[in-house]
């Protein structure tokens, strides 16, 4: 019986504590939601100074955005037009293996691009260490 009374006496304190935590969290979220009124140059320099590991021409946030956009455009163009291209290739040649040749061609192009990228990176690393 005493245990139940103790728990009942603790309930209002716990509810008040959770309510205060909720109010604090909400005020922090609203403070974060305020627009940044600094000029664009100041925001950009803040990103650059915050990113301590930035190397090359672009900081990581900009680099990952560029990679995402280029990847999504390539997937949209080549993936979206693949059925049309393969259908046209089959209709023009009469060969039902044209989808396989299309994939082989895409794989060869990818291998050439990856090889050129890797050799370019290796060359730049060699120049950086000399």
Task: Please indicate whether residue 51 or residue 21 has the higher confidence score (pLDDT).
Answer: 21
Task: Please indicate whether residue 22 or residue 77 has the higher confidence score (pLDDT).
Answer: 77
Map out the domains of the chain as residue ranges. 1-31
How does residue 93 score in pLDDT terms, banded at 50, 70 and 90?
very high
Percentage of the chain lying above the pLDDT 90 cut: 28
Alpha-carbon span 21 to 25, nearest angstrom: 6
Alpha-carbon span 83 to 89, nearest angstrom: 10
Alpha-carbon span 33 to 44, nearest angstrom: 19
């Amino acid at each position: 019986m005493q245990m139940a009374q103790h728990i009942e006496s603790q309930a209002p304190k716990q509810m008040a504590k959770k309510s205060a935590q909720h109010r604090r969290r909400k005020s922090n979220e609203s403070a974060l939601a305020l627009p940044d009124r600094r000029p664009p140059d100041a925001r950009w320099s803040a990103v650059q100074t915050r990113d301590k590991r930035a190397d090359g021409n672009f900081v990581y946030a900009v680099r990952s955005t560029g990679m995402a956009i280029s990847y999504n455009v390539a997937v949209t163009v080549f993936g979206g037009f693949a059925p049309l291209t393969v259908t046209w290739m089959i209709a023009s040649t009469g060969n039902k293996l044209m989808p396989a040749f299309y994939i082989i061609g895409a794989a060869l192009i990818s291998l050439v691009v990856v090889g050129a990228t890797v050799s370019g990176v290796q060359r730049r690393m060699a120049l950086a260490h000399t």
